[in-house]
């Protein structure tokens, strides 16, 4: 019982510092992703909108598509405005849904 209480008090004591550390790590990861990705979007105001995310990390190219409902469109537009600071945001036609990773054999 006392062992559990000591463990609980340790968690409580370090909670604020741990949360702050997690927020810093998340911000660093968001920055890394933002600098290595480009986003292409086909925005429809009724029905599904399609998003293609492309990036390069550790000599691998990544591609994934997402379908976004019209209810989530406002959040998507706000996020894309933030992403324009780091990369390009382009328009595209509706893509098929897929996900892929390509190993680079040479730099282009």
Number of domains in the chain: 2
| N-terminal to C-terminal alpha carbon distance within the chain | 62
Share of the chain above pLDDT 70, in %: 73
How confident is the model at residue 21, as a pLDDT? 93
Mean pLDDT, to the nearest integer, of 37-44?
Answer: 69
Residues 63 and 24 in one domain: no
DSSP 94: P
Residues 61 and 81 in one domain: yes
DSSP 85: T
Whether 35 shows a pLDDT value over 70: the answer reads yes
22 vs 77, which has greater pLDDT? Answer: 22
Residues 53 and 99 in one domain: yes
Domain of 103 in residue numbering reads as: 38-108
Its sign, for the CA torsion 90, 91, 93, 94, is positive
Helix (H) or strand (E) holding 62: strand 60-68
Residues 52 and 99 in one domain: yes
Cβ neighbours around 15 below 10 Å, total: 10
SS3 32: helix
Residues 80 and 105 in one domain: yes
Q: Mean pLDDT check: name the lowest of 24-38, 48-62, 87-101.
A: 87-101
């Amino acid at each position: 019982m006392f062992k559990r209480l000591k463990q609980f008090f340790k968690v409580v004591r370090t909670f604020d510092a741990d949360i702050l550390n997690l927020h810093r790590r998340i911000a660093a990861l968001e920055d890394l992703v933002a600098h290595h990705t480009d986003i292409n979007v086909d925005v429809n105001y009724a029905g599904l909108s399609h998003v293609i995310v492309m990036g390069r990390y550790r000599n691998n190219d990544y591609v994934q598509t997402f379908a976004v409902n019209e209810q989530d469109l406002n959040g998507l537009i706000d996020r894309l405005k933030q992403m324009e600071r780091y990369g390009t945001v382009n328009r595209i036609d509706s893509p098929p849904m897929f996900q892929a990773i390509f190993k680079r054999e040479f730099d282009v």
